[in-house]
Amino acid sequence: MAQRTPSQHARSTRGAGLGTEPSSAVWDVVARVDTGELATAAALLHNLHPADQADALAALDGRERRRLLDRIDSHTLAELLPFLTPEELEHVAPDVALPQLTAALDETPAQLGADVLHAIPLTDAELVLDRLPKAGLVEPLLQHDDDSAGGIMAPELMVLGPHLAAEQALTVLRAAAPAPTVRDTVYIVDTEGVLLGSIGLHSLVFAPPMTALRDLMEPIGPTVTTDMDQEDALKILQRFGLHALPVLDDDGRLVGVTTSDDLLDIAQQEATEDMYRLVGLVDDQALTTPVTTALRRRLPWLLLNLATAFAAAAVVAAFESTLARVAALAIFLPIIAGQGGNAGMQVTTLAVRAMALGEFDRHFTRLVLPRETIIGIVSGIAFGLLVGVVGWVWQDNPWLGVAVGAAMLGTMVVAGLFGLLIPIILRGLGADPALAASIFVTTATDMLGFLFFLGLAALLIQRIA
Amino acid sequence: MAQRTPSQHARSTRGAGLGTEPSSAVWDVVARVDTGELATAAALLHNLHPADQADALAALDGRERRRLLDRIDSHTLAELLPFLTPEELEHVAPDVALPQLTAALDETPAQLGADVLHAIPLTDAELVLDRLPKAGLVEPLLQHDDDSAGGIMAPELMVLGPHLAAEQALTVLRAAAPAPTVRDTVYIVDTEGVLLGSIGLHSLVFAPPMTALRDLMEPIGPTVTTDMDQEDALKILQRFGLHALPVLDDDGRLVGVTTSDDLLDIAQQEATEDMYRLVGLVDDQALTTPVTTALRRRLPWLLLNLATAFAAAAVVAAFESTLARVAALAIFLPIIAGQGGNAGMQVTTLAVRAMALGEFDRHFTRLVLPRETIIGIVSGIAFGLLVGVVGWVWQDNPWLGVAVGAAMLGTMVVAGLFGLLIPIILRGLGADPALAASIFVTTATDMLGFLFFLGLAALLIQRIA
C-alpha cells in the first residue's frame, strides 16, 4: 500500500461523517451509474473523500466502472488509487484507459505505481512504463519479490550529504520540494549513496543553523536488505518500535524505506494466512474468490482431510465385532471425537499464534508441555467423570460409563500433547506451523480417542454387553 | 504502546546484528545475573540496544530481576520501558522501586506512563502520581477505558493558534523544544482548545515565512472521540490511510492522537482474539497463562462443546436399532463428521475474517450464499461419489455406498450454509461473529450429517443388512 499526501484530505471540509463505513453518498453514485446518469454520478463522485471515491469504483461492475472512469480526470484518479485494497486494485486497474493511467501514476508514489503495474497485463505495463516520466523510480521496485522488503519499499526519500550545514540543508530541501514517503526524517549518505545516518526533520529545524549534518545525525539503527522477507522486516520494525526502516542494497546503498503503514497491512495479511491455514485454506483466497478457483484451492485439502478421516474410520472398523455386540457404543464416538478435537485445536491455535508473534521458543516449550499435560489431565478427569456418569445413567451400564470416562481422560491428555506437538513438528519440517494443523490434530485425537474407547469397551465387553 | 524517541537508538553504533531475534548478549546478561555477577551483568546490559535490554529484564525471574534493576539508572530504565510488551510490562513494572520508577516515568511518554501505572498496585500508582511532575498529562489517560481511543492516545502534541505566521510558529516550537509523539504535524486550535486544522511540519518549514497558519492549515479530516472503541479507531485510520488520528473530547477539544504504531499492536491483538474465539478460547489467554487460570477460562467452553456433542450423540442414539442391525454403519460416522466439520470451518473462517477486515456486508451476502451453495454441491458430488464407491467396495454393499455418498453430498451443502450463517447469526445477536463458532458449526454439520446418513441407512436397511 502506498503513502497518502495530506492534500488528499482537503476536499472533506469537516471530519464529521468520516467513519468506519463508506458514506451513503457512495451508494448514490453507484445507483446513478446503474441508471445511466453518468454526468450526475461524476459530479457526485467529485465531492466525495478519495476513500469514498475508491469504494464507489470498487463497488461497480466492469462495464459500468469503465463508463464512470471515462468521466474522471487523472488527478482525481491519482488521489483515489491509494485507497483501493490490493484486491480491489486488481479489478479496477485493468479497466482504466492506458493514457489516463499513465498520467495518474506520474502523480502517485512509485510504490503504488508498482502495485498498479503488477495488476495489469504485462504488455500494458510495458506501454505505461515507456511513457511514464518517473519510470526510473518504479522499475527497480518491479525487480524485487512481491513479498520482500525491496518489493514493498518506497524509494522517495529526503537524502543529503554529511557536509551540509543545517540551514543549507533546509534550503536544499525547500528548493527540491520533495514529496517524500517519510516526511519526518532526512537520510544522510556518502557520495556512493551508502547510508551514514539520519536526522529527524524536527531536529534539523530546531538545530543551530550552522551545525554540519554529520554532527547532528544519529547513527544507523536497524536496517534491512532488499531481499529480506517482508514478515521479518515487520518483526524488526515492531521489535525496535520504528516508524520507518531503511532498505539497503547489497553494497549498503540506501534504496528505499519500508514503513509501519505498509506493515500494518502485512500484519493483517499474515494473521489472515495463519487463520486460513489452520483449517486447510492454504492458497490465497476469500469469500469473493470465483467458484472454480475456490474449488481448485479447497478440494485438495478436503481430500487430505477425507484421507485422514478414513484413518479414524479404520480404527472404528477394527472394532466392528465389538460394535455389533453393543450398538450403543457408536453413540459415544461423536462425543469423544468432538471433545478431543476442540481441546486439541485450542492448544494448536495458541501455539501457532505464539510462533507468529515471535513468542515461542525452546525455552518456552519446556515450560508449556508439562503445563498442557496438567491441563489435559485435570480437564480429562473433570469431563471423564461427567461423561462416565452420563454414560452409565443413560445406558444403565456402569462399565460402559467406565470405558467412556477413561477414554475421555486419555483423549484430553492426548489432545493437549498433539495440539502442541503438531505445530512444532510442522515447523521442524520447514513447513508453516499452521499448515492444515486442524486436519492433523483432529485425526490424532479421533484415532487415539476411538482406540482408547473401543479398546476398553472390547476388554470389558462381557460386562457391557 | 508508546512512541520511541530517536536518541534511544543512538547506543547501537551500527545497524549490524539488530535482527528479529534478541542478540546473544541478552543471554550473557541473564547468565551473569544467575551466577551473581551483578556488576558485570549491569555493564553488559548498558552496552545493549534498549530492545535487547528489555528482553534481558523480561527473561529474568522476579528476584534476579530486582537485583539487576537496583544496578541500573532511571534514564536507562526510561529508555527500555517502551520495548516491553504489555504482558512483560505487567511482570516487570511491579519489580521496580517506586522512586526509580517515578524518575523514569518523567522521561517517558504519558501514554506509556499510564500503561505502567495500570500494571502496578493501585496504592503504588497513587504514590507515583503524587510525585510525578508530569502527572497532569498521565492522569487524564487513566480515566478512559483501556480499549478506547482515550485510553491509548498520546497527549504530547505540537499545538499552536491560527494567527501565528510560519516563521513565528517555528520560533515558538523551537523555544518549547517539545518531544511530541507526532513529530511531523502541528495541530491548530482556537483559544478554547477546539481543533481547527493541522499543518505538516514539512509544509511549515517550506512555507513563505510570513504566511499565517490559518492560511496554511489543512481542514480537519477524520477524528475520533475519547470513548470510541480502539478497534473502530483502527478501521478509520486504515480506511483513510492516516499516520495519526486526532482524539477529541465531547466539546471538540483536541486531547491527544492515536497513531498507526499503536494500531499495529491492536490489529495483531484483534486477529489473535478472532483466531482464539473461533475455537472457543474466549478470555484473554496464552500458552504462558498459569494452569488454574487457563482451566477456569477453557473449561466452560469445553463444557458447552460437550453439551453440543451430546446433541450429535442423541441423533446417533435415535438410530440405535439401525446400528444394531449393521454395525459397519458406525465406521462412516467419523468420515461424515470430519469432512462436514472441516468444510464448514473453512467457510466460517473466511466469513469471520472478512467481517473483521470490514469486507463483509449485506451486498456481499447475496453474492456469497449462492456461491458457497454451488461450492458445497460440487464438492459434495465429488466427495459423495468417492466415499460412495469406497463404501460400496469396502463393505461390499452398493446400497451402503448410496447412503454414505448421498449423506456426504447433503453434509457438504449444509456445511457451506451453516459455515456462513453461524457468524452472521452470532453478529445479528450482537455477539462476536467468531464466538465459539467452531463449536456451533461442527454441531450443525455433525447432527445433520448423521441424520442424513443414518436416516437413509434406516430407509434402505432391508438392502443394506
- The C-alpha angle B72, B76, B77, rounded to 5 degrees, equals 80
In terms of pLDDT, which residue wins out, B388 or A173? Answer: B388
Mean per-residue pLDDT for A424-437?
Answer: 87
Domain final position from B112, B143, B174: B143
Is the minimum CB–CB distance between A445 and chain B shorter than 8 Å? no
Tell me, what's the pLDDT at B364? 65
- Reply yes or no on whether the pLDDT at B127 is more than 90: yes
Choose the weakest-confidence range: A361-365, B66-70, B191-195: A361-365
- Reply yes or no on whether the pLDDT at B396 is more than 70: yes
Per the domain annotation, does B286 fall within a domain?
Answer: no
Per the domain annotation, does A210 fall within a domain?
Answer: yes
Selecting from A6, A236, A285 the residue whose C-beta is nearest the C-beta of B19 gives A236
Band (B177; pLDDT cuts 50, 70, 90)? low
| In a shared domain, residues B340 and B444 | yes
Choose the weakest-confidence range: A368-377, B68-77, B327-336: A368-377
pLDDT digits (tens, 9 = 90+) for A324-350: 999 999 999 999 999 999 999 989 988
Per the domain annotation, does A280 fall within a domain?
Answer: no
Selecting from A21, A268, A313 the residue whose C-beta is nearest the C-beta of B334 gives A313
Q: Sort out which chain A residues have CB atoms less than 8 A from B268's CB and list them.
A: 267, 271, 357
Q: Which residues, numbered 8 to 47 in chain B, qualify as contacts with chain A under a Cβ-Cβ cut-off of 8 Å?
A: 9-10, 12-15, 18-21
Q: Which residues, numbered 294 to 313 in chain A, qualify as contacts with chain B under a Cβ-Cβ cut-off of 8 Å?
A: 294-295, 298-299, 302-303, 305-306, 308-310, 312-313
Question: B218 and A359: CB-CB below 8 Å?
Answer: no
CA distance B275 to chain A (A): 6
Q: Sort out which chain B residues have CB atoms less than 8 A from A280's CB and list them.
A: 342, 346
| In a shared domain, residues A22 and A121 | yes
Is the minimum CB–CB distance between A201 and chain B shorter than 8 Å? yes
Question: B387 and A351: CB-CB below 8 Å?
Answer: no
Tell me, what's the pLDDT at A159? 92
CA distance B232 to chain A (A): 6
Tell me, what's the pLDDT at B91? 86
Selecting from A267, A298, A346 the residue whose C-beta is nearest the C-beta of B268 gives A267
**CATH code for position B306:** 1.10.357.20
| In a shared domain, residues B230 and B115 | no
Q: Sort out which chain A residues have CB atoms less than 8 A from B295's CB and list them.
A: 375, 378-379
**CATH code for position B164:** 3.10.580.10
- Reply yes or no on whether the pLDDT at B3 is more than 80: no
Band (B18; pLDDT cuts 50, 70, 90)? low
| In a shared domain, residues A173 and A309 | no
Question: A222 and B358: CB-CB below 8 Å?
Answer: no
Band (B326; pLDDT cuts 50, 70, 90)? very high
| In a shared domain, residues A250 and A364 | no
| In a shared domain, residues A377 and A431 | yes
Tell me, what's the pLDDT at A15? 43
- Whether B267 and A264 have beta carbons less than 8 Å apart is answered as yes
| In a shared domain, residues B235 and B115 | no
Place of cell 465389538: A322
Domain final position from A213, A232, A257: A257
Domain final position from A231, A257, A283: A257
Per the domain annotation, does B222 fall within a domain?
Answer: yes
Q: Sort out which chain B residues have CB atoms less than 8 A from A235's CB and list them.
A: 20
Band (A177; pLDDT cuts 50, 70, 90)? low
**CATH code for position A83:** 1.25.60.10
| In a shared domain, residues A196 and A323 | no
Classify residue B443 as left (phi > 0), alpha (psi -120 to 50) or beta: alpha
- Reply yes or no on whether the pLDDT at A269 is more than 70: yes
Please tell me the total count of domains within chain A: 3
pLDDT digits (tens, 9 = 90+) for A119-173: 999 999 999 999 999 888 898 888 888 888 998 899 989 999 999 999 899 888 8
- Reply yes or no on whether the pLDDT at B176 is more than 90: no
pLDDT digits (tens, 9 = 90+) for A290-309: 788 888 888 888 899 899 99
Q: Which residues, numbered 78 to 137 in chain A, qualify as contacts with chain B under a Cβ-Cβ cut-off of 8 Å?
A: 82-83, 85
CA distance B401 to chain A (A): 15
Band (B224; pLDDT cuts 50, 70, 90)? very high
- Taking residue B211's Cβ as centre, other Cβ atoms within 10 Å add up to 16
Work out the mean pLDDT of chain B and round it to a whole number. 86
Tell me, what's the pLDDT at A296? 87
Burial pattern B336-350, b for ≥16 Cβ within 10 A else e, equals bbbbbbbbbbbbbbb
| In a shared domain, residues B243 and B343 | no
Per the domain annotation, does A285 fall within a domain?
Answer: no
In terms of pLDDT, which residue wins out, A286 or A114? Answer: A114
| In a shared domain, residues B387 and B457 | yes
Range of the domain at A167: 158-257
What are the φ and ψ backbone dihedral angles of A17, each rounded to 5 degrees? 85, -5
| In a shared domain, residues A242 and A106 | no
| In a shared domain, residues B135 and B171 | no
For chain B, the first-to-last Cα distance in angstroms comes to 67
Burial pattern B420-451, b for ≥16 Cβ within 10 A else e, equals bbbbbebbeeeebbbbbbbbbbbbbbbbbbbb
Measured between alpha carbons, how far is B78 from B315 in angstroms, rounded to an integer?
Answer: 62
Measured between alpha carbons, how far is B277 from B461 in angstroms, rounded to an integer?
Answer: 41
Choose the weakest-confidence range: B315-329, B380-394, B428-442: B428-442
Nearest to B5 by CA among A300, A200, A166, A198: A200
Work out the percent of chain B whose per-residue pLDDT is above 70. 94
pLDDT digits (tens, 9 = 90+) for A362-397: 556 677 888 888 999 999 999 999 999 999 999 999
Per the domain annotation, does A148 fall within a domain?
Answer: no
Tell me, what's the pLDDT at A178? 55
pLDDT digits (tens, 9 = 90+) for A231-261: 888 888 888 888 889 999 999 999 999 987 7
HEC profile of A147-174: CEHHHHCECCCEEECCCCEHHHHHHHHH
Selecting from B261, B287, B338 the residue whose C-beta is nearest the C-beta of A309 gives B338
Per the domain annotation, does A275 fall within a domain?
Answer: no
Tell me, what's the pLDDT at B178? 55
Q: Which residues, numbered 43 to 82 in chain A, qualify as contacts with chain B under a Cβ-Cβ cut-off of 8 Å?
A: 49, 51, 59, 82
Question: B51 and A332: CB-CB below 8 Å?
Answer: no
Kindly give the pairing relationship between strand B254-259 and strand B244-248: antiparallel
Per the domain annotation, does A55 fall within a domain?
Answer: yes
Place of cell 489516463: A100
Tell me, what's the pLDDT at B285? 75
Is the minimum CB–CB distance between A1 and chain B shorter than 8 Å? yes
Selecting from B239, B242, B316 the residue whose C-beta is nearest the C-beta of A20 gives B239
Question: B313 and A291: CB-CB below 8 Å?
Answer: no
